[in-house]
A and B are shown apart, each in its own frame.
Chain A
Amino acid sequence: MLVSIYRYNPEIDAKPIMQDIEVEIPEGKDLMVLDVLNLAKEKDPTIVYRRSCREGVCGSDGMNINGQNGLGCITPLSEAVKPGKKLVLRPLPGLPVIRDLVVDMSIFYKQFEKVKPWLMNDTPAPAIERLQSQEDRAKLDGLYECILCACCSTACPSFWWNPDKFIGPAGLLQAYRFLADTRDTAAVERLAGLDDPFSVFRCRGIMNCVSVCPKGLNPTRAIGHIRTMLVAEGT
């Protein structure tokens, strides 16, 4: 099978190129894209990419696979590419390339940091822990599972155009994760930090984030909830 890989070392290369590598796929097996990339690396050890857990948990191998963002390790070849076609691997779009498939995620993390992704509660801590009812705990389902792979934010046009101002789907999903937490008491303060025309409202509901999230999460819905809270707070 032919694998086409984005190669770029900004320190040496004037321009990125797509390098085609022929890889033998074992018969009767549906390899994951990351396995294929590993096979390609055996042929050319200079290919650079991130990976760690190889089971969709660490979020390090987010990449653009035949035009769609996803995690290499849990995207089967059969899903990524039609039979007989090339596998095309590029870095996540919209972020500066450090080398080949490795992108600089600083701005993505900066947006994450802005939403203060930690529990804030100024009431005295109980002796053991802050308890939650099962119903309240259930409100965090679909929010806490995010692995910060950046597949969603780098698929979002609003994030491409204003990565320094629009928090992006990943950050906003976490913003809502803490707004929805009954143990958090800083909702008003959190909302005040989001009420500008960019941070939340740059979301145009394109839903690219939803269609690529490898964990099946729904940032658009979370953004909708934040917007409702902002409107309720502001009126």
Chain B
Amino acid sequence: MVTNATSLSSSGVSDWLIQRFSAVILAVYTFVVLGAFIIKPDMDYNTWSTLFNSNPMRLFSLITIFALCGHAWIGLWTITTDYLNVHHVGGLATFSRLTVQALCALITVTYLFWGIQIFWGS
């Protein structure tokens, strides 16, 4: 058993399942938004904001934002642990990995709260 403090769930199965489920949510959301454009080719701001102000869409968007952030974090965490290690950056491994991970975490959390605010803020 390998332990690592910075991984999202510290369980390989959970990370793997989150990655797959969130991918499905992201794909469905993409199709729904694209579909909206196809159904309403003359989309203007009014229709757009009515669509995104409806409760189902607000909820779906919220779920998607969580899926996006989870997906992004697991992916970026994997990339940093693959490429920011002693084989690639030598003695800078821990420092560079933690710095990049902190940056990614900050950006992810910012997007998360910003997204929530857009859809659920007053």
Is B114 close to A, CB under 8 A?
no
Contact B2 A199 (CB under 8 A): yes
Given A196-B4, A198-B2, check contact A235 B17 (CB 8 Å): yes
Chain A interface main SS type: loop
B16 touches A227 (CB 8 A): yes
Assuming the A-B contacts A158-B82, A161-B87, A234-B11, are A196 and B2 also in contact, with contact meaning beta carbons closer than 8 angstroms in the complex? yes
Chain A residues, Cβ within 8 Å of B11: 195-197, 234
Let me know if A199 and B82 touch, CB within 8 A.
Answer: no
Q: Which B residues lie within 8 Å of A234 (CB)?
A: 11, 13-14
B1 and A197 within 8 A (CB): no
Asked whether B1 lies within 8 Å of A196 as measured between CB atoms, the reply is yes
SS of B interface (majority): helix
Q: Does B83 contact A (CB under 8 A)?
A: yes
What number of A-B contacts does a CB cutoff of 8 Å give? Answer: 60
Chain A positions near chain B (C-beta within 8 angstroms): 158, 160-162, 165, 192-202, 227, 230-231, 233-235
Complex alpha-carbon distance, A194 and B2, angstroms? 8
Q: Total interface residues on B, using CB and 8 Å?
A: 20
Interface status of B85 (Cβ within 8 A of chain A): yes
Interface centre among B82, B83, B88 (most CB of A within 10 A): B82
Docked complex Cα distance between A55 and B3 (Å): 41
Sort A-B residue pairs by CB-CB distance and give the 4 closest, nearest first.
A201-B12, A234-B13, A198-B2, A165-B2
| Nearest CB in chain A to that of B16: its residue | A201
| Interface contact A196-B16, CB-CB below 8 Å | no
